[in-house]
Amino acid sequence: MQTSTLLTALSSSIDGNAANHGGGVYARTSLSITLANSTSVEHNVAKDSGGGIRLEISSTLTVANHTRICSNTATAGPGGGIAASGESTIQLGPGVLTLCNNIASTDGVACALLKTSTLIDDERLDVSGQPVAPVRS
């Protein structure tokens, strides 16, 4: 399945947004998001899942060069920082992805991988003591 680009953010800030799913960014059905060059996703709130970012149905998140996903909240679901489901993929490029101070009401405070989603190259992941939950429900 081919993906379409939803967002490419370089040296940017996605801050202070609210939505039902994906408080900062919501990618549904084969969409691609790239965050790089010190981009931050912070202080976003989702009523359900993915306080910072929500990926669904074969969507892809690529992060590189010191991206931060911090201080986001999923008030009634998993993935305070990121929630990915439906065969979505999180691809870590060069640099470090930092997930910090995220809050989720259920699993995966930093990142929740739901329903066959994948995290690739997780040695570049700094979760600052927050759990990454491979929630397979």
Give per-residue pLDDT as tens, 73-125.
Answer: 999 999 999 999 999 999 888 888 888 999 999 877 888 888 778 887 666 66
- Specify the pTM: 0.88
Q: DSSP characters for 65-109?
A: SSEEEES-EETTSS-SSEEE-SS-EEEE-SS-EEEES-EESSS-S
Q: What is the CA radius of gyration of the chain?
A: 13
CB 99 within 8 A of CB 72: no
pLDDT digits (tens, 9 = 90+) for 5-30: 889 999 999 999 999 999 999 999 99
CB 4 within 8 A of CB 33: no
pLDDT at 1 over 70: no
